[in-house]
Chains A and B, each alone.
Chain A
Amino acid sequence: MTSEHSPNDAASRWPILMLLLAGSVWLVVSGVLGIIASVQVHTPVFLSGCPLLTHGRVSALAETSFVYGWLANAGLGLALWVLGRLAGEPLRAQNWALIGTAFWNIGVAVALAGVATGDATGFALLGLPRYVQLEMIFSYAAVALPGILAWSGRLRRVSFASHWYAAAALFLFPWLLSVAHVVLFALPPRGVVQAIAAGWYAQGAWTLWLAPLFLSVAYYVVAKTTGRALPSYEFAALGFWCLVFVGGLTGGRHLVGGPVPAWISAVAVVSSALLSFHVIVVVLNLRGAATAPGVSAKFVAFGIAAYALGAGADAATSFLGVAVKTEFTYFDEALRQLALYGAATAVFLGGIYFAVPRITGKAWLSGRLVRAHLLLTFAGVVLLVGSLVVASLVQIPDLLDAKVPFAQITRETRPWLLGVTGALGILLAGNIALLVNFYATACEILNLSKPAAFEAPAAAETHAS
């Protein structure tokens, strides 16, 4: 794959490396917080004396650092890289991205401190306290600027699926968060409209921001690793517009049977079903990932499979008859983890393992750590989602039977919740492997350390051989 190296990569590497490094630090931080939260579910007294770490707060901290720390940084870094690659010239306005990255991450840190000390918002996927939101909107716009310029100023007029998804994510997130800021914090509506608006934001953050970010990476990596035109590509544009137009309407998915007008959940159920058209297109386009060579393609294939499985399960369980059983249980958490970890994280990891050797011009310092991370991620996600699903299968009949007290449900689900903690431990170990490998590789291009055992690589990536 020697033709794969672009001189532009080196010229635009600093903003991208900074974003990816920051993301992998937050990934480890959120892993530790996630383990604390999961231990508290089966052993409630754990750290209960620490007011900063009540279960509610730790859960919000883990989610915020995962979404706004890891997924946002990694997704932005890879989106900039993909858009720069497709533009055919070095990124412009790189200083904006560097400064934006610094302020974005300061915003995440302030948000975490705020949640821990009592400014939790109580909204899913929107754990950012009010006072950091404007700062984060502007930081995001600054980071996105080089990507937007690379998209609008591309050398050829034709654009690709990676373009659409990345550009959409770059544009949509600041709009989404600024609307949420006005609707939920500046002029909060009365009563349950808050919950509806928060549900709209949470689904939008997934379908209009995180999913487009990782799909952009997936389309690029699959096209590059298979080295062929994507099959059924003529449907890709339809799949994109399906996601963008229908995705935002699935917001009432978690309000089925709740104190909201029935049309909210009805629209969400229909939209979830319509969204399967988008998922089918993605799977058709990217099916080559399953047989493509290399670690990156395996991560991406796993991510796309998780995405398809999650979307299918989401649509199937949104109907009233099923939703009244699965809602409020560990099953919802299983689907959430399948989306955020199984799909988005796996694809971003694949993107990082693909992009960093090309950006730095160096192979990963340890190929063994890369392969270990692949195995740990696969095993961890399967164990995590599997344990949560089994826990929910124990929990659902117990919840439906009014004679079973909650203490008994806790006892009966405990073995599976221990499995969740174990799975999060496995994932954390893998993510530490990434961090170590990444820092060692990044330090090397800064000449901060001179590893004695390092030999010149035969190729720029571990899986090329």
Chain B
Amino acid sequence: MKSNFVFFLGILAALGVSWAAIVLGSNAELGALAPFYDDTQSTAFPEWMPGEAARGQLVYRDLGCASCHTQQVRRPGLGSDQARGWGERQSVARDYIYQPAPQLGASRIGPDLMNLGERKPTAPDKDDLLKLLYAGAEGMPPYRFLFEMRQVGVGAQPSDNALRLTGALEAPAGWEIVPTERAISLVKYLLNGKTPYDYPEAVPLPPAKPEAGGGAK
């Protein structure tokens, strides 16, 4: 390697090839992915993400929830994703087209949160999630800074959103614990996690009987 110029061109080409193949290639394939219009239901899927949920996704990103939670369900047969009730079909690229910042995640210290709004057998509701955020759980920290303590009494109406807690977590008399706007948008975002429609590319494959068939895809 005596010529600096040839060397320079070589590494430029190397970076260019990988960029064109991976980034441009996937953008050409997925960048203009359209919602799927279903004639029988007269609706397009996925549904548009409500603004509050989209804001909640940014709260999720900024707190770094993705360091312990994924949001991608693998197809039935890969891992225990289906058996844990995380989703009946695999997540596909079309599920994410309206998300401002998809949080696929890379670690499952905690459970997957892709379909939290339709979790089997029972999906949590808003109050459950707010309580979980406030109280934490084994393996999950509490996020008390997403809540505020407010005084109730003369001249201060109790909030509709106040948490109904019991036991040691209960607020002292004359006080209430109210979720902040960030907590509410985060929860709206999590409950918005639903993939109700089976796109043609996401229809669950019948589990391959012989083991050899599994790696074909």
List residues of chain A with CB under 8 Å of any chain B CB: 40-41, 44-46, 48-51, 54-57, 59-60, 118-122, 124, 151-152, 157-159, 163-164, 167-168, 171-172, 175-176, 179, 183, 188-197, 199-200, 204, 208, 237, 241, 244-245, 247-249, 251-252, 254-255, 257-262, 264, 267, 320-321, 324-325, 327-329, 332-333, 399-402, 406-407, 409-411
Contact = CB atoms under 8 A, between A and B. Distances in A.
B11 A172 contact: yes
Contacts of B97: 190-191
Contact of A399 (B108, B141, B143): B108
B176 interface: no
Contact of B80 (A192, A247, A400): A400
Contact of B92 (A57, A159, A259, A329): A259
Given A251-B22, A325-B79, A332-B106, A56 B2 contact: no
28 contacts: A48-B143, A54-B143, A55-B67, A121-B61, A159-B2, A175-B15, A179-B19, A191-B93, A191-B94, A193-B23, A193-B30, A197-B23, A248-B14, A249-B18, A251-B18, A252-B22, A254-B106, A257-B75, A259-B72, A320-B215, A321-B214, A324-B79, A400-B80, A401-B80, A402-B83, A406-B110, A407-B137, A409-B139
Nearest to B28: A193
A190 B22 contact: no
Contacts of A49: 144-145
A402 B2 contact: no
B26 A193 contact: yes
A258 B72 contact: yes
A193 B31 contact: yes
Given A259-B93, A406-B110, A54 B22 contact: no
Given A237-B1, A407-B138, 20 more contacts: A45-B136, A55-B64, A56-B68, A152-B4, A159-B7, A175-B12, A190-B96, A195-B104, A197-B27, A200-B18, A241-B10, A244-B10, A248-B14, A251-B22, A257-B75, A258-B74, A259-B90, A264-B26, A320-B215, A406-B109
Given A191-B99, A254-B106, A410-B139, A122 B66 contact: yes
A110 B136 CA distance: 31
Contacts of A199: 22
Contacts of A204: 15, 18
A118 B139 CA distance: 23
B91 interface: yes
Contact of A259 (B10, B67, B95): B95
Given A249-B22, A401-B80, A40 B141 contact: yes
Nearest to B3: A157
A195 B104 CA distance: 7
A119 B63 CA distance: 9
Interface in B96-144: 96-99, 101-111, 136-144
B198 to A, nearest CB: 14
Interface centre among A50, A191, A199 (most CB of B within 10 A): A191
Interface in B30-88: 30-33, 61-68, 70, 72, 74-75, 78-80, 83-84
B217 interface: yes
B58 to A, nearest CB: 9
Contacts of B27: 189, 193, 197
Interface residues of B, number: 74
B140 to A, nearest CB: 6
A56 B138 contact: no
B21 interface: yes
Given A249-B18, A324-B78, A260 B141 contact: no
Interface string B157-182: 00000000000000000000000000
Nearest to B65: A56
Contacts of A189: 27, 30-31
Q: Which 7 A-B pairs rank lowest in CB-CB distance, beginning with the nearest? A: A56-B64, A248-B18, A402-B83, A410-B139, A48-B141, A191-B96, A44-B141
Contacts of B66: 56, 122
A220 B185 CA distance: 54
B21 A267 contact: yes
B70 A328 contact: yes
A179 B18 CA distance: 12
B21 A249 contact: yes
A48 B142 contact: yes
A447 B12 CA distance: 45
Contacts of B84: 402
Interface centre among A44, A49, A163, A176 (most CB of B within 10 A): A44
Contacts of A194: 101-102
Contacts of A176: 15
Given A190-B33, A195-B102, A407-B138, A120 B2 contact: no
Contacts of A157: 2
B105 to A, nearest CB: 8
B29 to A, nearest CB: 6
Nearest to A407: B138
B22 A196 contact: yes
B14 A245 contact: yes
B17 interface: yes
